[in-house]
Chains A and B, each alone.
Chain A
């Protein structure tokens, strides 16, 4: 909804705010060759990647949490970092966004080494990277506008400029009318939008999202993801998102890294992970995802679908192959599950029956006669 609104407003976002050359930009993007990432994937001709992690390690109380992870996130991509809880993904992200310092290894933002910085350089590097958190972490003592203003105040910008920028930022995330609302009186989705505007206050090149949608309901999750994607397109952001929701990866990410016990299990294209997970951790994550995805396939398209529930006897017989042999119809299975409840099977299939209308009707009533519970599969 909001993103559609925003597309109409497109020209406004070409405002100088996000497209004027930044004072440090032009120079700092030309990385001396000695500092180019040594990672094999680095293409020698293109601009440096948005984010480079080299051999990051971190342990807490002697227990390695991140155990030697190297990653390269192409500029302008949305990169998912997934794994079960305890896999080290949040720690990895906290090191990447400079909230935590690694025990060893190196972090580069747009080719610039940013790990090991201190003082004013560290503050400046943090301003060039936005961070969005699971629990929003807004300042409850401030309004929506006050929250977005904070990073700008911290950088000592003149008050008038802060006001202008805050207005544009709130507009950017679709909250133009909420400026004066106390942070505590915003809905979850609105809070995360304010948090995104706050994270973008300094026009960063990278946006880090730590489980940014995990506290939101599915609808709000979708709209926040859409916002992040449209911001990526409009502002040329590199987005790194840690999540345990494969749903988020499927919807929003171009590339994905799977972490397992502090190590990189696999990394690559999202579609590739879903089609051919190469690691055990990757397979586990994809399998957990199946039901959700199947439900979505069921809901898409206009053709009539049947949900067949088998129980007892009918679950043990090859009903569908019998059906195909007895009637001039084809059954295309969209999704299915079988439960084994103390030796008794019960199953559920969603199928698309194609063929002559009369034949389909006949086949349907035959199914009913076989003890199969037949119902129209509609969204719900």
Chain B
């Protein structure tokens, strides 16, 4: 038991780091993209139909890419950004890029849920577009944004296990190399349980946060 806990510690930390860092990076990449998709939509605050069609297609294309293939294709980028294509740090690059379009859709749909009348009220108040975006749209959409980000985190836990399979480290790596290849069923089960705990924890925290936000309204 102690042995298994010892085996789990480092991979668990690696998974947490991978998920946290790639969530942050995906938010940085996908958040503005989602905001842009919302703003430049026809009937939006700054309609740019042609550009919007291009971005829309690009997001769809990236989302439909199988993650394993995306990861391999992005080896050169990982090497460029973090200096290596193996290890936890290297895995963060494809994880972020895979999650960014998902985050963009999460943000876009959360913003689209904001009542158009509320946006009208902000426009009629004489607010600039950036202010409407950040002082009205984002706070109004916050509960939806948080639940969408919870989904993102959970997806990334799953992806990170896959990243482990090709040298990314983490719980997936442990389950595969230690549990599967060395016939240690107990290690496999322990890894899966640890992943399950992460997913449950993320879902719990997300739900709590959403409830807290709603209770302040």
Binding site for B on A (CB under 8 A): 97-99, 123-127, 129-131, 133, 135, 137-142, 150-151, 153-155, 182-185, 195, 198-199, 201-202
Q: Contacting B216 at CB < 8 Å: which of A97, A138, A182?
A: A182
Partner pick for B120 among A125, A133, A154, A202, CB 8 A cutoff: A133
Judge whether B118 and A137 touch: CB under 8 Å. Answer: yes
Q: In the complex, A126 Cα to B131 Cα: how many Å? A: 15
Please classify how large the interface on chain B is, using the bins under 10, 10 to 19, 20 to 34, 35 or more: 20 to 34
- Complex: A195 Cα to B135 Cα, angstroms: 17
Report how far A198 CA is from B123 CA in the complex, Å.
12
B-chain residues with CB within 8 Å of residue A135 when the two chains form the complex: 115, 117
CA distance A206 to B126 in the complex (A): 14
Complex contact A131–B124 (CB within 8 A)? yes
Which A residues are CB-close (under 8 A) to B216? 182
In this assembly, does B64 line the interface, its C-beta being within 8 Å of a C-beta of chain A? no
Is B127 in the interface zone, CB < 8 Å from A? yes
A123 to chain B, nearest CB (A): 4
Q: Closest approach, in angstroms, between the C-beta of B137 and any C-beta of chain A?
A: 10
Q: Is B142 an interface residue (CB 8 A)?
A: yes
In the assembled complex, the Cα of A122 lies from the Cα of B142 at a distance in Å of 29
Q: Is the CB of A201 within 8 A of B121?
A: no
Residues of B whose CB lies within 8 Å of any CB of A are 115, 117-118, 120-128, 131, 135-136, 139-140, 142, 216-217
Nearest Cβ on chain A to B115's Cβ, whole angstroms: 7
- Chain B residue at minimal CB-CB distance from A128: B126
Q: Check B121–A141 contact: CB distance below 8 A.
A: no
Q: Are A137 and B123 in contact (CB under 8 A)?
A: no
Measured in the bound complex, the distance between the Cα atoms of B206 and A236 in whole Å is 50
* List of B residues within 8 angstroms of A137 by Cβ: 115, 117-118, 120-121
The CA-CA distance from A139 to B123 in the complex, in Å, is 12
A99 to B123, Cβ gap below 8 A? yes
Q: Indicate if the CB atoms of A153 and B126 lie closer than 8 Å.
A: no
Contact of A141 with B142 in the complex, beta carbons under 8 Å? yes
User: Are B123 and A154 in contact, CB atoms less than 8 angstroms apart?
Assistant: no
Give chain B residues whose Cβ lies under 8 Å from the Cβ of A139.
118, 121-122, 136, 139-140
Choose one: A99, A123, A185; the contact of B127 (CB below 8 Å).
Answer: A123
Chain B residues lying within 8 Å of A185, measured Cβ to Cβ, are: 217
A127: B residues at CB distance < 8 A: 125-126
B214 to chain A, nearest CB (A): 9
The answer, among A123, A133, A138, A183, for a CB contact under 8 Å with B126, is A123
Question: By the criterion CB–CB under 8 Å, are A150 and B118 in contact?
Answer: no
* Contact flag A154-B126 (CB < 8 Å), given A137-B115, A141-B217: yes
Flag if A126 contacts B139 (CB, 8 Å): no
Q: Report the separation of the CA atoms of residues A202 and B127 in the bound assembly, to the nearest whole angstrom.
A: 12
CB<8 Å pairs between A and B, sample of 27: A98-B124, A123-B126, A123-B127, A125-B126, A126-B124, A126-B125, A126-B126, A127-B126, A133-B120, A135-B117, A137-B117, A139-B122, A139-B136, A139-B139, A139-B140, A140-B217, A141-B142, A153-B135, A154-B122, A154-B128, A154-B135, A155-B126, A184-B217, A185-B217, A195-B121, A199-B124, A201-B125
Decide if B120 touches A151 in the complex (CB within 8 Å): no
Contact A150 B140 (CB under 8 A): no
CA distance A153 to B135 in the complex (A): 10
Also in contact, A154 and B127, with CB within 8 A (given A182-B217, A183-B217) = yes
Return chain A residues, CB-CB under 8 Å to B123. Answer: 99, 126
Which of A124, A150, A201 is close to B122, meaning CB atoms less than 8 Å apart?
A150
8 smallest beta-carbon distances between A and B, as pairs: A127-B126, A154-B127, A151-B125, A141-B139, A137-B121, A131-B124, A126-B126, A137-B117
Q: B127: which A residues are within 8 A, CB to CB?
A: 123, 150-151, 154
- Point out the residues of chain B lying under 8 angstroms from A155, CB to CB: 126
What A residues does B142 contact at CB under 8 A?
Answer: 141
B87 to chain A, nearest CB (A): 41
Interface contact B125-A154, CB-CB below 8 Å:
yes
| Least CB distance, A192 to chain B, in whole angstroms | 12
User: Which one of A125, A133, A153, A182 contacts B121 once the chains associate, using CB atoms below 8 Å?
Assistant: A133
| A140-B140 in contact given A150-B135, A153-B135, A182-B216 (Cβ < 8 Å) | yes
Give complex CA distance A137, B136 in Å. Answer: 12
Q: Is B126 touching A142 in the complex (CB atoms < 8 A)?
A: no
Contacting residues, chain B, for A98 (C-beta < 8 A) = 124
B217, A123: Cβ atoms closer than 8 Å = no
User: In the assembled complex, which residues on chain B have CB atoms less than 8 Å from the CB atom of A124?
Assistant: 126
Closest beta carbon of chain A to B4's beta carbon, Å: 46
Known: A150-B135, A154-B131, A183-B217. A138 touches B118 (CB 8 A): yes
Q: Which of A123, A142, A154 contacts B139 (CB 8 A)?
A: A142
